[in-house]
Amino acid sequence: MGTKFRTMLAPIGLSTGDGRRFASGGITLADLPMPFEWVRSREGGHDGAVTVASVIEAHVGTVKEAVAAGWIGADAVKGMASDLEAVWASGEMLDDADRETMPRLAEDVAEAMHLMAAGTLGPSVDLDSFEGVPVLAGTDEQVTWERFEEIVEETGEEPKIELLVTQGRVRAATLVSIPAFAETSRPLELIAEDQVAREEEGRDNTAGAHVAALLASVATATRPMVAAFALPDLPGPTPITFDWDTGRVYGHIATWQTCHVGYSDVCVTAPKDEGGAYAAFNRFAVETEDGGVVWAGRLTVGGRHAGLSLDANGAMSVHDGKTVAAHVRAYEDAYGIVVAGVIELAADAPERAVLDRRKVSGDWRETANGLSLVEVLALAPGPRSQSEPGFPVPGTFSVNGRQTTLTASLGPLAEEPTRNRVGATLDAEAIAEAVATAVVRQTEQRALAVQARAELDAMLTASVDRERAELAAALGQGE
């Protein structure tokens, strides 16, 4: 099964920038499933779109109804009017396509999902039939030519006209970089397979859900002991380990000698925390059985990393909507960044399969102390670039040449040896130097290629001239 998504396809009663509006009660839905497409480049309309997902469910209803029914997450529509009517859809991405037999589809889906997670795409509906009438902007008053002339005579100005779609059937949806309705860009969620089920169970107890995000060992009847959060004495680089029998979790999320795989020409290692306290991560108060409060961070599961353009607070907000799999305290030891704490989930929780992959990714964002660890995400199956430690993942986001973000699947794998390349620490100067070196190398290679081409052309020209002279001499002798 592919990664699930849910989204608003189009608001009803709101106008597009180019003067279109859907009338309430006029939108119907075609038979399901429907194609969910993506336009790779802006060639005009939805031309060149490719299918990257399947719409399995679709509904028409208000924001309030959508949240109550689980058609969309509450955080995704925060700030929207509860009575805003819209078309909602949910389905599955085709990221389970085999990369060997369908490489083109796998690449399209992976790229579309990356852009969705970054917040740069929004859906646009495709209608296979519709009826519309011109109306005065913001009203349902149909405008005839006679009425148009009357308004011009009365006001001296031409009235603003909209096309009111009175009847239309949604046949598909297409992801575009600039959707007709700006409102659709935000309520677009990639969600864990079981997240909707959990929301249904806890929809009537949202206050309890917030408490669960702050108190460890919610899944058990007792509070954890302080010792569960102590720095473990590990013999070497240790993959993240979930001990379901004891409820403990521990291991490295990054090692000092593991190079970020997103850089081919320089070894970029995980940044060390100023003072080693990891205050930006260890920010949650966890009540313990024997020692009061321990300050710890959280390991979340569900979906992908927050968008690279988000700041620290924005990334934290994204993780607020994910499932807390564990509360762990971050430390530094001789081998790397290590975490230790307690599992939040029950042993039979649906998320266990994701945690048992032992693949986690740290999320570093710019704070007053530089790049700081703020979240740790357990990676779910999906596109290789977003789910597999040791493979390329979205690397950095910079502002004015200053690195502000690092998301990396850096955790050492039990089934793969640790890469022992020691190199530059993570800083803007090292990255800039690597880029400059690469540019110089490319320039030199291009110059050599141009020189080689010129020499080859000269050789061919000389050869042709020689053959012509020999042929002319032969013809002259013949005469």
346, 465: one domain:
no
Q: Is 432 inside any structural domain?
A: no
DSSP string spanning 378-426?
EPPSSSHHHH-TTS----EEEETTEEEEEEE--PPPTTSPPP------S
318, 181: one domain:
no
Q: What's the pLDDT band for 226 if we cut at 50, 70, 90?
A: very high
Helices (H) and strands (E) in the chain, counts: 9, 19
Q: Is 102 inside any structural domain?
A: yes
Distance CA 479, CA 458 (A): 32
| pLDDT tens for each residue of 269-318 | 788 888 788 999 999 988 888 877 899 999 998 877 777 778 888 888 88
- Percentage above 90 pLDDT, the chain: 20
222, 74: one domain:
no
- The residues pairing with 163 across neighbouring beta strands, listed in sequence order, are 20, 134
143, 225: one domain:
no
Distance CA 343, CA 218 (A): 9
Neighbouring C-beta atoms of residue 194, cutoff 10 Å: 17
- DSSP summary character for residue 63: H
- According to the model, what pLDDT value does residue 216 have? 33
- According to the model, what pLDDT value does residue 117 have? 82
Only one residue has tokens 């849910």, namely: 6
Q: Is 403 inside any structural domain?
A: yes
Only one residue has tokens 């389970």, namely: 96
455, 409: one domain:
no
Distance CA 197, CA 465 (A): 79
- According to the model, what pLDDT value does residue 132 have? 87
What range does the domain containing 365 cover? Answer: 206-426
Q: What's the pLDDT band for 369 if we cut at 50, 70, 90?
A: confident
145, 225: one domain:
no
- According to the model, what pLDDT value does residue 200 have? 52
Per-residue pLDDT at 405 exceeds 70: no
CB burial readout 282-302, b (16+ within 10 A) else e: bebebebeeeeebbbbbbbbb
Domains in the chain, number: 3
Per-residue pLDDT at 340 exceeds 60: yes
Per-residue pLDDT at 389 exceeds 60: no
Q: Is 148 inside any structural domain?
A: yes
Per-residue pLDDT at 479 exceeds 60: no
Positive or negative CA dihedral for 141, 147, 149, 155? Answer: negative
29, 145: one domain:
yes
| pLDDT tens for each residue of 74-112 | 888 888 888 899 999 999 999 888 888 888 898 999 998
Residue 162 three-state SS: strand
Distance CA 217, CA 229 (A): 12
Helix (H) or strand (E) holding 60: strand 50-62
Per-residue pLDDT at 455 exceeds 70: no
Only one residue has tokens 């430690």, namely: 389
Per-residue pLDDT at 268 exceeds 90: no
268, 394: one domain:
yes
Q: Is 196 inside any structural domain?
A: no
- According to the model, what pLDDT value does residue 364 have? 85
Q: Is 421 inside any structural domain?
A: yes
168, 129: one domain:
yes
Lowest-confidence region among 198-207, 232-241, 308-317? 198-207
Q: Is 200 inside any structural domain?
A: no
231, 303: one domain:
yes
Q: Is 437 inside any structural domain?
A: no
- Percentage above 70 pLDDT, the chain: 70
Per-residue pLDDT at 461 exceeds 80: no
pTM of the model: 0.44
468, 375: one domain:
no
Distance CA 122, CA 174 (A): 8
In this structure, the strands spanning 161-176 and 34-38 are: parallel
467, 408: one domain:
no
